[in-house]
Homo-oligomer: A and B are copies of this chain.
Amino acid sequence: MEPLQKAGILVEALPYIRKFSGKTVVIKYGGNVMLGDHLKLAVAQDIVLLRYIGLNPIVVHGGGPEINALMERLGKKPSFVNGLRVTDAESMGIVQMVLAGKVNKDLVSLLGQCGGKAVGLCGVDAGLMEATRLSPELGFVGKVSRVNPGILQDLSAAGYIPVVSTIALGEGGESYNINADSAAAELAVALGAAKLIMLTDVEGIYEDPGDRGSLVSVLDARRAREMIAAGMIAGGMIPKVEACIRAAEGGVNRTHIIDGRVPHSVLLEVFTDTGVGTMVVA
């Protein structure tokens, strides 16, 4: 490509840079889309770029596959109820080690290689997320009861990129495993974020899952609930859509479900008019 064309593309980004300058963007980056070094690097570059051009990105990550792998090595069989991991005390320790000790720090390191000053946290740090038990049968699976976003705001204001593992603190000091989609939504609401981006392993939401041409660009909360009720949105997509509804109704104007398998999809979302994937609105 000609240098001239390249410059033109930078200039095309200008209106979007202006629009989001100084705004907070929460990016949910799930374990299922941490696919291959090349793609992970592209995600990290996007996030660092957002930071340098004046946005405040906050990264929220999961890490299901890596948790499963360690559990299996330790002879524990992962089990799920409605897509949520049954988490006994021992599993909770494993979840925390994998998320806060491995996935988080790997992401922090990758962002650092791209020139970002990232700081890894979990909900326990500075009391960021408090939780209550979701249901007795799930064990240490929690529901966020309160967000204390001060540490994220302090770090953002000082130029850092916070990276959050979705573990929260219970009233008695115990840790809870929080669904990462839901945690991202709660953080976005508490931060008054301008945007919530869910990186997934699908293109977005389809009217007809069998028809790739039926991708929905904008989905309002009412229709989203109908589609869930009708089974048109199903499985692991349900918590993602519910998280978007929660965020949209909590004041986050733009919530997006996008395809994390496409390199630089975060930039494409932020820097194009039509965006990519499906936007859920209140």
Residues of A in contact with B (beta carbons under 8 Å apart): 1, 3-15, 17-18, 21, 42, 45-46, 48-49, 52-54, 70, 73-74, 93, 96-102, 104-105, 108-110, 112-115, 117-122, 124-127, 151, 154, 158, 160, 167, 169, 173, 175, 262-265, 267-268, 271-272, 276
> In the assembled complex, which residues on chain B have CB atoms less than 8 Å from the CB atom of A13?
10, 49
User: Judging by beta carbons under 8 Å apart, are A14 and B45 in contact?
Assistant: yes
Partner of A267, one of B10, B45, B167, B173: B10
> In the assembled complex, which residues on chain B have CB atoms less than 8 Å from the CB atom of A52?
14, 17-18, 21, 53-54
Shortest C-beta distance, A215 to chain B (Å), equals 15
Partner of A97, one of B3, B97, B160: B97
Once bound together, how far apart are the Cα atoms of A108 and B151, in whole Å?
Answer: 14
> In the assembled complex, which residues on chain B have CB atoms less than 8 Å from the CB atom of A97?
70, 97-98, 101-102
Partner of A112, one of B42, B114, B169: B169
Instruction: Give the interface centre of A10, A46, A97, A265 by most chain B CB atoms within 10 Å.
Output: A10
Shortest C-beta distance, A18 to chain B (Å), equals 4
> In the assembled complex, which residues on chain B have CB atoms less than 8 Å from the CB atom of A265?
7
Once bound together, how far apart are the Cα atoms of A263 and B2, in whole Å?
Answer: 12
> In the assembled complex, which residues on chain B have CB atoms less than 8 Å from the CB atom of A126?
112, 117-119, 160
Once bound together, how far apart are the Cα atoms of A46 and B17, in whole Å?
Answer: 13
Once bound together, how far apart are the Cα atoms of A108 and B11, in whole Å?
Answer: 18
User: Judging by beta carbons under 8 Å apart, are B120 and A49 in contact?
Assistant: no
Once bound together, how far apart are the Cα atoms of A13 and B53, in whole Å?
Answer: 11
> In the assembled complex, which residues on chain B have CB atoms less than 8 Å from the CB atom of A160?
126, 151
The closest CB in chain B to the CB of A267 belongs to B7
> In the assembled complex, which residues on chain B have CB atoms less than 8 Å from the CB atom of A14?
45, 48-49, 52, 114-115
User: Judging by beta carbons under 8 Å apart, are B101 and A102 in contact?
Assistant: yes
Shortest C-beta distance, A240 to chain B (Å), equals 22
Once bound together, how far apart are the Cα atoms of A27 and B122, in whole Å?
Answer: 22
User: Judging by beta carbons under 8 Å apart, are A93 and B100 in contact?
Assistant: no
> In the assembled complex, which residues on chain B have CB atoms less than 8 Å from the CB atom of A167?
105
